[in-house]
Structure formats: structure tokens, C-alpha cells
Structure 1
């Protein structure tokens, strides 16, 4: 055989053996993978209740979900489609039921910006009626997302003839044998010169009836009424507005409000020995609540009377002028709750000696500025400002310098933010000392909150709210019990019902080792069984999708020789927020599309929308490369090359040598 043939066969054998030995070493090889990226299309569907309250509700509940799914499926070959639903919150689009109680575009835009804003070649398809009732105006937010937003107009855009209740305000607490104020907002579209009938009922009893003359095609009226509070307990009132003419829908003609009727008003005494602007601010907030009577007592001029007093506000008492230890002993013996406001005139040493569950740093008399810092885990009551961080935007107040230590029975409503640093120093806290409630405000200067809020928001709603809810919580006596259940008296339909429970042993120490059962009964007598979830120290329970009505419940421990049982009730009232406006808003969606170089579709025309997106000249996929490391033995092309070499050597040897 020729030398060159021998050299070829030897070379093939050497190459095969070399490559096999190379693979036995197990080297890692870097290689690049070419990836073809489809353009991303975010389909965001409005899932709020307003879409099922109109005359075309049957279409949106039955046919529309399948039409939308068909459109999405038709675009998936050309787009990487991401589906979302939004209303009160943003979630993955799984089932369209149009049960969200609010419409919030700002949360949608923020979610999209956070999760998809850094990607290239992204666009959004937004299907909505254009109505919003929560969050900021979507017209001014959409341009910040950095992507085209194409909008589909849903809902009824034609002019409608309709009567509705657009607002309803009342006190949460009322008192027997007094007048209960309620403010009702009524809207009538295209009912000029017609008459409306307003009726207010408690259960089946008619409490008020009034006829209203409509003046104008777009009629708005807010009117105050006074009702007789006759029955004690949790009362549900129904407001109904009707006409003798055909309306677009009757689903927004009635609304409920709930009031807890108590035996008598609460008397609040504000005691001081030096007047301060904070006292005027607190007094003005109390005056906004007809459920409270107040009395200002200058301790330099008169003594406190504890008769029929439900709460004492001690403003910088004890002071550096006098320790008032005898006064504190009398308050303790009378078991009257107290709210103590600490300021520059307070005697911290005396406060520490009174064993009120709080110990302050009294080594110096320095004070510092501290900004309100919301404690999101506070659970004793809810503030209107909690989700808006209103107080964190207001000026600081003057607080004692140094540590403030609370005993374990205290809950902190707000912490101190000092020079931009979040701290665990309490600013406002609540607790219990010797079977009576105690509240603390560690700082003076609340009057600045009142003035600043009015400058920023043209109202004192949130300042009045925090003062009145603080007073309401402290002034209402709570029986010390081994099993305590806390919840709001009423919930809006569609909202989650949240219930908290605390369980104490015989030594009144907080425990949560036992199971807590919860049995709920509706007005028809049907029962539902739940079980509380354990937290670090207490329990909580969240119930969703309860219908409008009155509910009774029973909570029972499991595992004790003699189980503890507690019962109560709450009311789920009709939610009127989504029914305030039912005529679809075209301007909002047009401006969203216009400001982001998107397209506005006048209706859900599946064929037209599909054609638009498939013919979009900007939908070219992007190419990216991904670097990876892998074992050489896992590379199929290298193994195939070795096999080919072996087959080639075998073939040539057979061909040339004949064996």
C-alpha cells in the first residue's frame, strides 16, 4: 500500500484517539447560542365592576372573554404575549368576572414599568371603558412608561339617561335619642324638569321620604338629612333614589351605610396647665365629630371632675410646674382611659415614676424634630391616610431625645423618622395599663400638621381622622377577655373581610398555640366554616367575595377542657363606587394612545385589531446571543465528527486493503 494511504489511515486513527482522550479529560467549552426574540405585547384587561353594570353586561360576562382569548391566541405566533387584569390590583389574567371594586390605572402602569420597562420592543394593548376612581389620572402617567399603548374602547359610549347615588357620607357611630346626620349625593343625566323620590329605610321601616325636582340635563345635588337613631346596635340603612321614567340601569339607584348606635355620647376632657396651639387643634378635630362632647380644664384654675368622663387628654401633664401625682392616682382609681401628650414642658422623671408602661430617657432635656413614619402592622384601628402616607409629607414635631421603651402590651401607630433615618422610636402608641387603655403622643407641634394639611390638600380630613379615631378607640371601653375579636363593623361588597383575634392564657399572656374555628352565618341561615391563621403572636382571617347582607359569626377555641366561645356580627354593604359613572370615557383612552404613539380602537373589533398588529412594520424580532459553558462530551456535533472519522477510517481500510 502506498505511503500516502498509510499516512491518511494513521492520521485518522490518531485524530480519533486524540479526540477521545480529549473528551476523557472533561474540558468545559464556551459557546454562544443565537436567540430570536419576539416583540413583547402586554394585553391589559380592565376587570372592574363598571363593565358588568351596563346594559351590555350579558356580552361582557358571556361572549367577550372567549373573543379576547381568540384574539390573544391569534397573535402568539408573532408576539410574546403577556396577559394582565387590573382593577383595584394587578394580577395575571386568568378569569374575567368583572368583580374588582375599583378601577386604578396608576397601579397597572407602575406594574408594567417595574416589570417590563427595561425590555426593548414592547407595546401594550389596553382594553377598558376608560373610567377610573382610584389612583392618579392615567392621562398624565402613561407617557412615563416608555412604550406605545394601544387602547380598545369598551363599555357604552352613547349618552345615557340615568339617576344614581354618587356619594354617601355618615358617622360610623351614633347615639340613641339623637339625630344621625347623613349626606347624600345624587346625580341625574338627561332628566331635566323631572321628579326624583329619595327614600331612607332601616330594615323595612321608612325613616324619610322626599321629592326632588331636577334642574338641568347634568344635575348634581348633595343634601344633608337628619335621621332619628332609635335602635341600639349595629344598624344598616338603605338609601334609594327612584323616578317614574326609564333609566339606563337601576343598579346604581340604591346604597347602604352602617352606623353603630350606642347609648350616649362620649365626654372628652382636655386637661392642661399651660395653653398650647396643639390644644386648639385637638379641640377643632373633636368639634367635627358630633359623637363627642368636650371640656377644656385648666388645672391652675379648677379641678377635674370624673363624672361621666370617658377619656382624659393630659396635655404635657405632669409638667415641670407640678407633678400631679394625686391626679394620676384618682384617674387610676376611676379606671378612666387617658391620652398623654409629651412635650417640652413635661416632667419626664415623674412620668417614668408613675408606672404607665412607658419609660423615657430623662437624663437630658433635649428635644429633636421627628417626622411621622407609618407602622404598616398597626391593627387596633384603620386610618384614612394609611395607604396615602399623608402624615409623612407633613412637618416634623418636637420629640424627646433618646430611647422610648414600651411594655409588651403596647402597639405603635407611628414611629419617628429623624433626619431622614427611619427609627424604631415610637411617636404614637397605644396600650393597656391595669385594665384601662392608655394612649401616648411623644411630641408637641401637631398644630403644624393641621395647617400644613390644609395648605397641601385644602382640607383637614386626615388630621381630624387621626384625632377622632384615637379618641374613639380610647373612649370606648373594651372588656378584658381571654379571647378578643377585632374587625370593622362594615365592609364594602367586593372587598376582603379581615378579622383579627387575640388569645390569652389564665395569666393573661398572649398565646397562639390553639386552633381557632370561625363559623359564619348569613341572613338566609347558611353557614360557612373557616379557621384562623396564626401570626407571630395572634391570629388573622381573610374572607373574600361575601355578598351584601348582615353576617353573624361564632369563634371557638379547640383543645381546651372548657373552650372559649365568642360571637359577633358585621355587615357587608353594597359598593357604589363603580356604579357612580357608567357612561364610558373616550377622552381618557384617546389621550393615553395619543401621548404614547399608540392606536385607539373605537370598539372591540377582533379582525381590525389583529390586522393592525400583524401588519405593524415595527414588529421585527430582535436577535440576541447567549454565552454558555458546557462539557465537551455533551456537544453532539463533536461526537458526530468522531463517529464520522471512525467510519471513514474503516471504509478506507476496507477499500484499500480489502479487509
Structure 2
């Protein structure tokens, strides 16, 4: 307590005594017991009130012992199961957690990981992907401001995510890998990366690029074969050696017939090669007989144009043509969609052409849009533009039902630049994206879809969507979220089919079961999304004809069936609506590919570099006792005593107010009882 506060308290005592003496003893001759009691009560109430005004503060120190966090990070992928048993890993964990001295020094926590971090300590060793860098990054976020050491139990073979060795260079916490699995390096020949397009076009050639990798100490010769639907179409003899361990194979295959083509790439294994699972790989390519042509019309150069072209052409079934509004369009009768970018008076001829053909359109407006011209050139929208541009943030409409958008995330998307003004849409439309300006959600759409059987339209009221694509990459390290969003809009707008009550969304090819699912949207007779419907997915295995049913679950504004439990193979399916004569059928293929089985040996050298980059140390499974001893003796991880000072104001003590009230009340009653009032 400060000296100033003590002096104020002393002064308040003097003031309280002075007032009490003046009121009860000054010029008063009667000084009995009653006067003493009353003066004491008066002193208490005055002194208490003055104390509340001074409001002195009291401090208290609480001491705690903070232990260092020791995180056991366990690789739960299936590659561990082939080289190290679950019991062996549990024995290592028990040896660490069961040490009493170590438990006294550290706060031990256990996590497992595959493609992501899991708080469960249950080992299943069945994860199909390994992302070591993501697991380490998640631990850093959880234990952000604490002293933490990480013990990483893994074979070091990562199949997805950022390179953990590179990530380790920026890692502030020490990582101590324990190498699991076989550290012996075997002579191995494997198929690495395979590159191909998802679609090919009839009577064209489509490329397949294959990388063959050799681990060994001598020169070898082998043969690479590519088969399509069981027929060998490509063969090449190759030679590999320790000085040239990788060979790139490029093949051009003919797309002679329409349909799904199952492609098998294989390499003849070495004599006595231990791991032959990685000597073959399956992919699939769908041969189609046409492309959807999309024209972007703009009289300006803008990053949005390039972003749209890249996004739309990420689907090989679509091609984009960029035209000026003054160009000739008489030869463009087969265009699936026109994208009109910030129309002005030069768009008069193209708008007339679109109106005559009844073509579908996506109109993007912005600060350079001539609204006087646009208002007079069509009848779907009208805007009384103020000429003032403003930043408009997107709000995803969860009630949008024309197609499924539940997988998309607009979190963190930057604003678009749009002109302010009252907007009128004269046709029936659905809002896909709403507007938010300066934190206020507006009642006008940012992206509106106008459905129709004869013609479909969409309107995006803002420029700079290239920033959305860039933000998607910043958040996810890929463009998929944005590309899929634009892709679904383009698919809907370029379709010439009438509006259907049952629509399906699925891939024709799934590489493994990761993310395999079928989604469906069902509408009632008034074309309102029906949340009370019962949808059933009937699957037929094409090889043996066996069938089974999967009920589709309602998730948000769509129905979904999870295919992750299916074996690899070709499946026919039909989605039907109970009580309605409505159904849709299709076919998909699940390729047999487990990337975890491509590795036989542990990558201990890379784990050692990770340990060195983070000031940690590499251990093998047989050196667990050495790791325990090192942690016990390491003074860097001694528990730290921390003190926390709690400062409490006197005004927070309610009992003082109670004493003041009680003293005043008692004084009043005593004076009343004795006839002094």
C-alpha cells in the first residue's frame, strides 16, 4: 500500500473522530454509556464512508509451479502398421509416461495425427494420409505461449502437406523424433508422381506423364507399361542408376471411344524386390465428345479477366474465349455462356446478339459500368447509381438452394468494389451472396442468380474477384475453394436443361476413399428445397452385381451419402426419392491407391535434419531410455515458479458497505428508542 494511501486513511480517522466528537461531545455535558455507543457507531459509518472514497487497494501474491509441456506426437498412419506394431509404440509411450521423475518434471500430453491432429490418444494405425508439418503447426497453436518440447514418433514418410523439414527451420520449439519402422535401405523401384488430365476429348490424344524412381547401388534396366482398360498401349525400356535415379516417361494415348478409361501404369519389379506395391499405379481419364465454350466480353484490361479464365479452364471440359464488345459474334452460336464484364455503350451489339439467341449470361458490374446504358438495354435489373464506389464484403447465403454451396467458405475474403445505389431486380431470383458494407448487412444481393427454363442469368455487383482467388490460395495453398464456386455457377448457367427437382453432385473418379461422397438437392413441386424428403442411394458393384443401400443424410441445404467405407471398384448408383417417381442414376470409380503403402523404410535422415534444425535430437526406438534420461537431466526444461499478483480494491468488499449500513441503522434505532429523535 502506498504512503499516500496510508496518510489518507490516517486523515480519514482524524476527520471521523473530529466529526463524531463535534456531534456527540462538543458543548454536551451528558456523557454516559449511551453517548459512547452512539459516537462509536457514528465513527464507524463516517470512517467507512471515507474509506470507500479513498478506495485503498490490497495486493496478494499467488505462487504456482509451471511444468514444461512434453507432447507425445504419434503417427497414426497405416504405413506405421506395416513396419511397427501397435504394441511397440504403446511400449515406448508407456516407458515415457510411466517414468515418475519425468512425470514430476513435465506435464505430459499425447496426440495422434494422420492428415490432421487428433486429441485422442487411441492408436488405430489406419490413417490414409500423413501430414507431419500440419500436426506440428497445430501443436504450436495449442501451446502458443508455453515452454513445450515435442517428441515425434513417426517413420518420417509424409504424403501430404508442406515439407516438414523446411517447416522445421522456422520452428521455435525443439523436436525430438523417435524413428519408427525399418531403417534399413532396400533396393526399390517405384512409380512416383503420375500426371494426367481428368478429361480427354474424343479423337484427340491425351498425355500421361510418369516418374519412375530407383533407390539402389547399381545400374538396372526395366520396362514400363501403360494399359488402358486392360489393353497395353505403351511400353518403354528404361535404365536407371545411382547417378540417374529418376526417369520421366511421357506417353500420348488415343481417345478413340467415349467413356471412363481405367489406366494402369506398371514397372517390372527388380529381382528380390521387397516392396512391389509401389510398382504399379492406377488412374482414370474420362473421354468426352465436346467442350463447353464460354466467352468473356470486356473492353478493358483487368485482373478479373485472367482470374476468370484460369478458374473456368481449371475444368478441362471448358474453354474460354476473350472478346471485345466490338468484335463479330455471328459465328458464336454454340456458346454455352457469355460473361459480360462491366458493360458500357460499346456492348450494344453483343447484347442484341445475346437477346436474339436467348443465351445465358453472367454480368459483372463495377465502378466502370455504364448504368444508364445497362438500365436501358435489358429488363432484368435496374440500378440508380450514385457514382460513389464502396467496399462490399460477401455474405454466403445458407438458404441458397439452386445448387449446393455448403462446401464453400467465404471467411476472410476481401471486399469487392461496387457502386452504391438502389437496386431493382424485376425477375424472380435467389441471392447467393449478400452484401455487407462497413459491418452492416444490406438487403441487396452481391451475387444474384435468375433461374429460368429458357434463359438463365446471374449478376455480380462488384469488381476485383481476382482477390478472392488470391485469398483462397493464401488460406488453403490452392485455388480449389474459389474455382469450385465459380465452376458451379458456370455449370448452372451454361446448362440448357430445364430446372430439375432432383440434382446430383459427384465425381466420376475418386482416387482412394478420401473425400468420396455424393450430394443431392431435392425440391418440392413449387421448387422450394424439401428438408423432409427421404433420399436413398442404391449402389451396384459392377464386377459381381451385388447391391446395397445407403440412406442420404440431410446436411444443411443438401443431402449427402458418405462413400468412405467402400472398397475400390466401379459402382453404378441410383438416387431415388421415397414416395415420388423421381430418381437419377450415374456411375463412379474408386481407384485402389494407398499412398502409405508406397514406403517400406523409415526416412530417418530427414527426421535427423528436422531435429538439428530445431535444436532437438534424433532417437531410435531402442534409445527411448536414453531420451528419458536426457529429458530428466536437461536444465532447459526445469519447472518454473510463477507468481501472480492479485490487486483487490476495498470497494469490492461488500461487507464494508454492510457495516456502514448496519452502523447507521443501529444508531437510528437506538436514538429513536431513547427519544433522541
- Fold-level similarity (TM above 0.5): yes
Aligned length: 578
- Does residue 1:346 correspond to 2:369, yes or no? yes
Match of 2:236 among 191, 210, 213: 210
Match of 2:136 among 101, 106, 109: 109
| Superposition map of 1:297-312 within 5 A | 297-312=323-338
Partner of 2:388: 366
TM-score between the two structures when normalised by the length of structure 2: 0.69
- CA-atom RMSD in angstroms: 5.0
Q: How far apart are residue 90 of structure 1 and its match?
A: 0.8
Partner of 1:552: 572
Distance in 2 (alpha carbons) for counterparts of 1:50 and 1:403: 60
TM-score between the two structures when normalised by the length of structure 1: 0.71
Distance in 2 (alpha carbons) for counterparts of 1:296 and 1:248: 54
SS at match of 1:363: strand
Partner of 2:432: 411
Distance in 2 (alpha carbons) for counterparts of 1:421 and 1:131: 48
Distance in 1 (alpha carbons) for counterparts of 2:551 and 2:99: 44
Q: How far apart are residue 81 of structure 1 and its match?
A: 3.2
Distance in 2 (alpha carbons) for counterparts of 1:245 and 1:38: 54
Distance of aligned partners of 1:489 and 1:442 in 2 relative to their CA distance in 1, 3 Å threshold: farther
Distance of aligned partners of 1:51 and 1:432 in 2 relative to their CA distance in 1, 3 Å threshold: farther
Match of 2:558 among 538, 546, 561: 538
Distance of aligned partners of 1:39 and 1:551 in 2 relative to their CA distance in 1, 3 Å threshold: same
Per-residue CA distance 1:446-476 (angstroms, 9 max, x = gap): 7899999999x99999999987776566445
- Does residue 1:245 correspond to 2:264, yes or no? no
Partner of 2:283: 257
Partner of 1:74: 98
- Does residue 1:129 correspond to 2:152, yes or no? no
Q: How far apart are residue 37 of structure 1 and its match?
A: 7.2
Per-residue CA distance 1:533-580 (angstroms, 9 max, x = gap): 32343323334343322233332223x2x3433222222224465466
Distance in 1 (alpha carbons) for counterparts of 2:313 and 2:191: 28
Structure with the greater alpha carbon radius of gyration: 2
SS at match of 1:276: coil
CA contact 1:128–1:151 (8 Å) conserved in 2: yes
Per-residue CA distance 1:352-383 (angstroms, 9 max, x = gap): 678887x5743223345678999999996999
CA contact 1:381–1:473 (8 Å) conserved in 2: no
Partner of 1:276: 301
Distance of aligned partners of 1:614 and 1:204 in 2 relative to their CA distance in 1, 3 Å threshold: same
Q: How far apart are residue 101 of structure 1 and its match?
A: 3.3
| Superposition map of 1:634-649 within 5 A | none
| Superposition map of 1:131-530 within 5 A | 131-139=157-165, 141-142=167-168, 147-190=173-216, 193-214=219-240, 216-272=242-298, 274=299, 276=301, 281=306, 291-292=317-318, 295=321, 297-317=323-343, 319=345, 322=348, 326-332=352-358, 336-348=359-371, 351=374, 359=381, 361-368=383-390, 398-401=417-420, 409-412=430-433, 432-434=451-453, 436-444=455-463, 471=490, 474-475=493-494, 477=496, 480-522=499-541, 523-530=543-550
Per-residue CA distance 1:97-141 (angstroms, 9 max, x = gap): 433333323322232233333445x43221112233433343455
Distance in 2 (alpha carbons) for counterparts of 1:127 and 1:105: 10
Partner of 1:598: 616
Q: Unmatched 5+ residue regions in structure 1?
A: 1-30, 628-659
CA contact 1:187–1:220 (8 Å) conserved in 2: yes
| Superposition map of 1:642-657 within 5 A | none
Distance in 2 (alpha carbons) for counterparts of 1:283 and 1:449: 14
CA contact 1:117–1:146 (8 Å) conserved in 2: no
Q: How far apart are residue 89 of structure 1 and its match?
A: 0.9
Distance in 1 (alpha carbons) for counterparts of 2:125 and 2:399: 30
Distance in 2 (alpha carbons) for counterparts of 1:321 and 1:534: 44
- Does residue 1:48 correspond to 2:77, yes or no? yes
Q: Which piece of structure 1 moves more, 522-531 or 496-505? A: 522-531
Q: Unmatched 5+ residue regions in structure 2?
A: 1-59, 646-677
CA contact 1:252–1:576 (8 Å) conserved in 2: no
Q: Which piece of structure 1 moves more, 104-113 or 211-220? A: 211-220
Distance in 2 (alpha carbons) for counterparts of 1:609 and 1:202: 52
Distance of aligned partners of 1:387 and 1:588 in 2 relative to their CA distance in 1, 3 Å threshold: farther
Per-residue CA distance 1:461-511 (angstroms, 9 max, x = gap): 999998777656644555532111212222232413233211111122211
Q: How far apart are residue 187 of structure 1 and its match?
A: 1.9
Per-residue CA distance 1:24-79 (angstroms, 9 max, x = gap): xxxxxxx9999887654321111234435xxxx1x424543443454355247645
Partner of 1:10: none
Partner of 1:27: none
Distance in 2 (alpha carbons) for counterparts of 1:216 and 1:159: 13
CA contact 1:200–1:237 (8 Å) conserved in 2: yes
Q: How far apart are residue 166 of structure 1 and its match?
A: 2.1
Distance of aligned partners of 1:515 and 1:181 in 2 relative to their CA distance in 1, 3 Å threshold: same
